[in-house]
Amino acid sequence: MRTLIDPTRRAALPVLAALAMAGCGLFGAKKTPPSPLPEFAPTLPVSTAWRVSVGSGRGTFLRPAVTDNAIYAAAANGAVLRVDPASGSVVWRAEAGGRLGAGVGSDGFRVAVVTARGELVVFDADGGARWRAQLTSDAIDPPLVGRGLVIVRSTDHRVAAYEADTGKRRWIYSRQLPALTLRAPAEMAFAGDNVLVGFPGGRVVAVALANGAARWETTISEPRGTTEVERLADVLGPVAVEGGLACAASFQGRVACADATTGTLRWSRDLSAGAGVARDGRAVYAVDAASQLHAFAIEGGASLWRNDRLAHRALTTPLAVAGAVVVGDLAGHVHFLTAAEGSFMARVQVDSSAITARPMAWNDNVVVLTSDGTLALLAPRR
């Protein structure tokens, strides 16, 4: 796979290259074929409530934003849509005015995307353009919207906060980075009056919403090895915050949970992440670089189960919802597994293109978006 060089002369690898370094074909190594789809007797009926074509998202890391009464989605060509989650009907369609590199973020009042040229574009809930702001570089992570702010982490790993109503920049946070980083999405999360941000080098930092000051920093994993590639340890996917714990995973590193208020590390386990983590009240669910799915006890981090039957299928960050763990794969399949033991319950194919955005929940249903732009609501019947 091709290595990309950004304007700051840091090397950035496409997200699939992260998986390739674990044996899927980086630097000319032989690509490991995906595991065949496992056979099983379905135990959970899952219907497709609706499908709608958003527009291709190929070449981007676009994902939808889900609120109580709306789903916001976008296409690489700049189209931004609001979809009624109950019916699948398109409520409105707007244009960002250029190809998109990141999105969508929303709190139900503001909707934010970032163009490929690094312009933050914000709409209101009715699709009206509100304001624009130029970032210091492009972005691939969806903006985080809420608490009166729109927060964006650009690919130069600067985090900037803007007032949601006016677009006035309130603060910017930056830090020194290693020479080599992955070009892979890593989502931020609110935790009290902080925003939690995962960085290269295996770090999670709590940044104060009020002024952009670092409140605490915790180490998910330390870079190891002698070469820059061996020392890659970027935090991947979302930081999962719930019940006072913040959990995250890093490439060639660990999965770990820390106190969301102080950053004190509660536990960590070795795992080379291929995507982000999800959690419920019982466990943390993680996908490793070989697309094996793991469950760790939320208290203490003991291994609860591992499922390797979807190996090398480029699994998404999991979703934990209503007793199930849900992941998408490289061929448009959505897999439902039991949260208790990791056994298969159901499988639905949305279309034949990869699901790269993490599945999201709406009223215990599952929202998925494929790289060809099929947005779908999957409804388990329990």
Digitized pLDDT (tens) for each residue of the chain, 382 residues in all: 222 323 333 333 334 333 433 333 333 345 799 999 999 999 999 999 999 999 999 999 999 999 999 999 999 999 999 999 999 999 999 999 999 999 999 999 999 999 999 999 999 999 999 999 999 999 999 999 999 999 999 999 899 999 999 999 999 999 888 888 898 989 999 999 999 999 999 999 999 999 999 999 999 998 888 899 999 999 999 999 999 999 999 999 999 999 999 999 999 999 999 999 999 999 999 999 999 999 999 999 999 999 999 999 999 999 999 999 999 999 999 999 999 999 999 999 999 999 989 999 999 999 999 999 999 999 999 7
Task: Measure the CA–CA gap between 59 and 334, rounded to whole angstroms.
Answer: 21
Residue 300 CB neighbour total at 10 angstroms: 10
Residue 326 CB neighbour total at 10 angstroms: 29
Which pLDDT belongs to residue 224? 87
Residue 382 CB neighbour total at 10 angstroms: 10
Peptide bond preceding 104: is omega within 30 degrees of 0, i.e. cis?
yes
Task: Measure the CA–CA gap between 93 and 242, rounded to whole angstroms.
Answer: 33
Which pLDDT belongs to residue 214? 98
Q: What separation in angstroms does the CA of 184 have from each of 16, 56, 59, 61, 268?
A: 8, 19, 12, 8, 22
Q: CB neighbours of 233 closer than 8 A, spacing ≥ 6?
A: 200, 201, 202, 220, 221, 222, 223, 224, 250, 251, 252, 253
Which pLDDT belongs to residue 30? 59
At 243, list the tokens: 């019940």
Task: Measure the CA–CA gap between 286 and 65, rounded to whole angstroms.
Answer: 21
Tokens 């930092």 belong to 205
At 18, list the tokens: 């992260």
Candidates 272, 351, 292; CA nearest to 48 is 351
Residue 260 has phi, psi (to 5 degrees) of -70, -15
State in Å, rounded, how far the first CA of the chain is from the last one.
43
Candidates 305, 242, 236, 294; CA nearest to 270 is 294
The length of the chain in residues reads 382
Rounded to the nearest 10°, the torsion over CA 256, 258, 264, 267 is -40
Which pLDDT belongs to residue 179? 80
User: What three-state secondary structure class fits 248?
Assistant: strand
Q: Where are the domains of the chain?
A: 4-380
Q: Which CATH number is 4-380's, of 3.40.640.10, 2.130.10.10, 3.40.50.1010, 3.30.300.130?
A: 2.130.10.10
Tokens 């492009």 belong to 138
At 121, list the tokens: 């574009």
Q: What separation in angstroms does the CA of 273 have from each of 21, 222, 287?
A: 11, 14, 6
Q: What separation in angstroms does the CA of 227 have from each of 178, 179, 224?
A: 12, 11, 9
Task: Measure the CA–CA gap between 69 and 85, rounded to whole angstroms.
Answer: 7
